[in-house]
Structure 1
């Protein structure tokens, strides 16, 4: 009874954790390749037409399914030759087709090396039509923002993949240690799991093609055979289809199938987009194998506990030892992948990817606690019936972890640089500021200073200083400001700050009476 009571307690903890994760961590699709520069830039005011239009990204792109389109002020698309990609696959460009003055809109669409669509639009003007000119890059939206159905299908795919690989992996132990009735039922379950996995892959292919806007036959074919994500999906689909009639017969064939499937899965997504690529792919493969070993063994215990309790009880010690190895493999490979994906550990909680990762680690810690309770209950009481609630708790936590993993593996590990809007007032001095990313380490600064004094005299001097909070040995950096428009408007643009990190922005305003007001704001760049 004590084991059941403890299981109920931890089941309640699991429910609370799952609810907290669902409420506290909103999931928003984030582009894995981020726009870092455009030529011309968003809002540029040009005296003459440019020679070309180009966009540059921070990561490699897929070599197909990309374009740049240019529209005039009336919304008519201007005819351009096909966009060309640079040798490093981070920049695409087209010759500029316009000749007249006016406003032009540029629309681009690419697929990052990990299969995530990235699209956006911006404008610039040539000549005197400059009503809405600005500076800096706009927010970088993604194409086809995934909805709940997308993440649901992806979750089913991820869980079914872990079950399939783990179930096949445990086949050798079943064949050597179980009776004929258990082996027969194992093979029936194997076919069912593979068919669910096959159906999940087909469903995910449709939602992924919709997400990247490959909705025509030509576009779908190009995406499936011309991108790393598509090629990996086709390879996994073929392996699963072959595996339905053949797996479970020969140990060597089963091991080869697992190796090929895990390799195919690891050669897309985050591992394919990060360097060193070989280390990323190997670490991801180890991570998948560790998770699959745990998931497949847990599924066997839950599925066989009622009708084949003796076989499940005999399997439990082997599973317990394997689960410990799995946790160690997950911790080791997960640490390597995190260090490869995130430039600084301090960035971890600044993006949804990192927050979901922390939630996954917390859920894994609960799994370790549940596993400890399971082993202690088995040693002390020897009552197998009391173990079922703990098994169900372990299975529930596994589904939570797999769901979290399926979500954050689609998100960007690195936080996006976003516009900082800053409004403050000290005494009679008000400041409205905007710090805008302008690509490739560039930022645009806009400050509007206003006094509520009766005379409303403009400030005598305005000074902008940036101080690194990560590297105290770096002296404060003076950012040169220029007056723009009204008496209290100031602007600056350039490579400030010179490197990413946490910064203190200090604006010092000296009025006509030589009284100084200081405004400060913390700011992080990535």
Structure 2
């Protein structure tokens, strides 16, 4: 077996392992950087009796961080009982309903589908408010150093990617045969090393980033949870692809290789590019297939453009002779133009998906970072256009020096763009942040009504025209949770001639049901709820809900 065949088989084996890893990776529903949109009991509400559960509803599906959801009683003790139940975006926390009167504190930390932690707290009161308790056992507070380290690791990964791609691409297609390859080879191995380091660092940092704690708070349990997630699978696949690519990279860096090796290396690189969007926002966007593809195109175009600039400014403009540059520069100019066009197109599609609304573009941190990136990109495109003019005027005196200055100016600006990008991927997408802001300004309606069979706690959130969530809690007349066998509910607006509309209800526990209803107009809506507690016992209560 020849050495070339062994290299190809090793690379193909790495690709096969990668495909298998992708197939067995945990499936995650399409979702995004989740935000808390409603709670039951609602934040700051005063309930007549203690609930048997606390329900948190997020904008998207979330995953559990072990031990990071707590309900603290007024006396500082734990009021939650047992493990929370996760059902898509709904988290149900069992609570002792016989707890004391006063204010309860709910703290939470969960993981959204794009691998970012979501944490927060709210209070509710039973009977009457009291000074809120303190969660003395909460150790989930994020260390700011961890957040910075995660961004630095991503920046290092981007730098490694462009160094590796630029060196490999130029050596494969544009490098003059007479020039030694030692410098570009060192650059490529440096890029590979930075990529591997950033990938491992990203895996390790994800543990304290998701569960809280400092940089070195990496436990076996936490690491196992990260490796078992889509984020972990994507990073392990990337490491496997880097190892497989190394077998074909060595002969390429030493001299020209055959077309088959280049094709295999290109396949490995394309698959590796997909691991970035699969571990971040794109895989959790409203259009995940589109987002993953355009993000990979965006990243690949960036690597080709900037990596080529590094090779051009660091080696070719200094070492190639006039005849070689006359052949290389026009080809590179076309490559750069195509890469910039792909960057612009992919970036536009990404922005439309992630920003969603014009108000979110200026009203959220994510949107403002996108605007900053656009401004910087416009500057670097201007410098690139100047470089293309220099390519067309190769006969002008001193043009190599001018081109080197233009190339380093492009790289200087794009280094800032990469830093903005590293921050951007760690920021809540504008579409989610906009949802969070809208939810924060909304109100809610809550009341308790009594029938001969039971008392019913009714919650409507946000009690505004449009989509509303309703929650019903049934209690016996002595304030104990009362099992309900069947729920029915309707809502009507007689003043506007709107007949009763049936509300589809989903029982969450024996005494708790929830539903969603779109209220088309403001007004005093009549909400009727029928709860059947036995085969023959049922009662109906009616509540007037002011919708403004």
TM-score (norm 2): 0.66
1:231 aligns with 2:233: yes
Greater Cα shift, 246-255 or 392-401: 246-255
Paired residues for 1:136-285 under 5 Å: 143-145=142-144, 147-174=147-174, 177-179=175-177, 181-213=179-211, 215-249=217-251, 250-285=261-296
Paired residues for 1:19-418 under 5 Å: 32-62=33-63, 67-78=68-79, 80-86=81-87, 89-102=88-101, 103-130=103-130, 143-145=142-144, 147-174=147-174, 177-179=175-177, 181-213=179-211, 215-249=217-251, 250-305=261-316, 307-310=318-321, 314-380=327-393, 381=396, 383-414=399-430, 415-416=433-434
- With over 3 angstroms needed to count, the CA separation of the structure-2 counterparts of 1:256 and 1:493, relative to structure 1, is farther
Counterpart of 2:462 (choices 442, 446, 450) is 442
- The offset of 1:132, in angstroms, is 6.6
CA distance in 2 between counterparts of 1:418 and 1:237 reads 35
Per-residue deviation, residues 30-89 of structure 1 (Å, max 9, x unmatched): x92111011111212111221211211112324665742222222222452222111xx2
CA distance in 1 between counterparts of 2:84 and 2:58 reads 15
Given that residues 63 and 227 in structure 1 are in contact (C-alpha distance below 8 angstroms), is that contact kept between their aligned partners in structure 2? Answer: no
CA distance in 2 between counterparts of 1:51 and 1:97 reads 6
Q: When the two structures are aligned, how many residues end up with a matched partner?
A: 401
CA distance in 2 between counterparts of 1:476 and 1:62 reads 36
- The offset of 1:477, in angstroms, is 6.0
Given that residues 277 and 283 in structure 2 are in contact (C-alpha distance below 8 angstroms), is that contact kept between their aligned partners in structure 1? Answer: yes
Per-residue deviation, residues 199-246 of structure 1 (Å, max 9, x unmatched): 222333333322212644244323322322222222223322443454
Given that residues 108 and 121 in structure 2 are in contact (C-alpha distance below 8 angstroms), is that contact kept between their aligned partners in structure 1? Answer: yes
- The offset of 1:322, in angstroms, is 1.1
Given that residues 60 and 89 in structure 2 are in contact (C-alpha distance below 8 angstroms), is that contact kept between their aligned partners in structure 1? Answer: yes
TM-score (norm 1): 0.68
Per-residue deviation, residues 131-177 of structure 1 (Å, max 9, x unmatched): 679xxxxxxx9855554444333322233233334443444314xx5
CA distance in 2 between counterparts of 1:85 and 1:158 reads 35
Per-residue deviation, residues 399-437 of structure 1 (Å, max 9, x unmatched): 1111111111221222346789xxxxxxxxxxxxx9556
Given that residues 351 and 370 in structure 2 are in contact (C-alpha distance below 8 angstroms), is that contact kept between their aligned partners in structure 1? Answer: no
- The offset of 1:267, in angstroms, is 0.9
Given that residues 72 and 105 in structure 2 are in contact (C-alpha distance below 8 angstroms), is that contact kept between their aligned partners in structure 1? Answer: yes
- With over 3 angstroms needed to count, the CA separation of the structure-2 counterparts of 1:441 and 1:300, relative to structure 1, is farther
Q: Which runs of 5+ in 2 are unaligned?
A: 1-31, 134-139, 252-260, 446-459, 465-519, 526-543
CA RMSD in angstroms comes to 3.3
User: Matched residue of 1:212: which SS?
Assistant: helix
The corresponding residue for 1:11 is none
- With over 3 angstroms needed to count, the CA separation of the structure-2 counterparts of 1:123 and 1:152, relative to structure 1, is same
- The offset of 1:370, in angstroms, is 0.9
Q: Which runs of 5+ in 1 are unaligned?
A: 1-30, 134-140, 421-433, 445-474, 481-491, 497-526
Paired residues for 1:482-501 under 5 Å: none
